[in-house]
Each structure stands twice: as C-alpha cells, then as structure tokens.
Amino acid sequence: MKTQTQLPKLEQIHHEVTECKKCPRLRKYCGEIAQLKRKSFQGDTYWGKPVPGFGDPEAELYILGLAPAAHGANRTGRIFTGDRSGEWLYRTLFDHGFSSQIQSQKPGDGLRLLNTYISCIVKCAPPQNKPTPQELKNCSHFLQDELHTLKSVKVYIVLGQMAYQALWRLLKPSQKRPLFQHGLKINLDGNRCMILSYHPSQQNTFTGKLTHLMFHSVFQAARSHLQDNNKKNLSF
C-alpha cells in the first residue's frame, strides 16, 4: 500500500483536502447537514466532509465553481454531483464532448470527465453559500496545488464572480482584471484563456439569468479554443 508521500500528486491533494480541519465552522456545518439530511435523502449516508476536485489529470479544460452544495456534493462526496446545478453542468458537458454521460447522481455511476477537471474554491459546503475571507484563504493552497499539478490546461471556465476573483489572484495575469461579464473570453499567455459564466445555481436558472443557450455558448467557446489551439500545434 502506498504511503501518503508516495501517492500521485493529485491523489495526494485529494487526500489532504478530505482530511483538512482548518475551518471548524465549515466542518461543523457539513457534519450537521449530514446528520439532519434533507427529507428526500433520508436513506442516504452523507459524505459530510471537504470535497476534492476530480477529472482527467491531463485535462485541457478546467472548471471552477464556488463550493459543494449542502445536499449535493456534501451528500455524494463528488463536486457538482446530485443537485440541480450538476444536472445543468453534466448535460452541457456531455453535449460538447467533455463528459461520458448526460447526468451523474453519485460516484461510481460510470461518469467520466473527458479532457476536463472540475474543482471549487472552497472545499466544504458553507452556510448560505457564504464562506468567510479567512475560510477562502485557508482553502486557497489546495486550488493553487491543483493548478500547479494540472499542466495541460488551456481553458479555464469560472462559474461566478467569486471563482473568477479567486482564480485571477492565483494565475496573476499581467493585464488588469476585466469586470465580470457572462460569456467574456479573456486571452492569457501561452495560448490559454479564461471564459466567464454565471453559476448554474437554481437562483440563476429559475429566474432566467442563465439560460441553456447562454451556458452552451460558454462551452462552445471552450471547444473552439481547444480546437484552434490543436490546429496551431499541428502546423509546426
């Protein structure tokens, strides 16, 4: 059996995430939710711990959200799995060739991300989806470790304002950070880009702030960027 120091880098990061206890408020909240449960999930055993990212270690597409949902990833143990936001995301990923199946309800259901890695800036579900500045800071090194490990990323899709701000701080582009605007594509160095999107939360999708067409346009832009980049590489 491999020791922690012998684990592949991403696997080691995942282990460190699930064992993290730096934010007592968040760990307490996740544990309480896991005990109380939602009525429709009373028969489920909740994960109730920090949730690591997952996906292809050689991914060219990196998707970043805010945090696990209290009765979604905090229940299933996999980010964007088992809630309405995940339904939107995985259906769209499948339509654009980034996922092996159209939906995912739990780990082990056969879903594979294709050339894609998904993560979040806070690894524990925060009360009211509002992590404190210190909790954001406590979690930032996990995100930084992921970014350093995923060497092949060419497109970053950020889901919401907070994910945008967090990723920008870590990538440190030389340009001034543009104001958040859904669908905005920001070219970075090394043929990389960042594409901004509203988060597929129920608040955004139920009110029409984010439509299927708007969400699809973001992933179409990502697919086009990757195809154009691969054509450039083949031309040498």
Q: The CATH number of the domain where 14 resides is what?
A: 3.40.470.10
* CB of 193 closer than 8 Å to CB of 148: no
The pair of structure tokens assigned to 22 is 């730096």
Looking at the predicted structure, is the pLDDT value of residue 216 above 70?
yes
HEC assignment per residue over 91-118: HHHHHCCCECCCCCCCCCCCCCECCEEE
pLDDT band at residue 5 under the 50/70/90 scheme: very low
The pair of three-digit structure tokens given for residue 103, joined into one six-digit string: 């939906």
Beta strand residue intervals within the chain, DSSP E? 54-55, 61-65, 116-120, 155-159, 185-187, 193-197
Overall domain count for the chain? 1
Residue 1 has pLDDT above 50, yes or no: no
The Cα 88–Cα 65 span in angstroms is 13
Q: How many CA atoms lie within 13 A of 169 on its CB side?
A: 13
* Position 236 confidence tier, pLDDT thresholds 50, 70, 90: very low
Q: What is the pLDDT of residue 102?
A: 92
What pLDDT score was predicted for residue 233? 62
pLDDT computed for residue 64 by the predictor: 98
**C-beta separation of 64 from 167 below 8 A:** yes
Maximum separation of any 2 CA atoms in the chain, in Å: 58
pLDDT digits (tens, 9 = 90+) for 97-148: 999 999 888 888 899 999 999 999 999 999 999 999 999 999 999 999 999 9
Tell me the two tokens of residue 200.
């597929």
Whose structure tokens read 């020791």? Answer: 3
pLDDT at 165: 96
Containing structural domain, residue 134: 4-234
Token pair for residue 70? Answer: 């209290």
Average pLDDT across the chain, whole number: 93
Q: What is the mean pLDDT of residues 153-159?
A: 98
Q: Does 2 have pLDDT greater than 60?
A: no
pTM of the full structure: 0.93
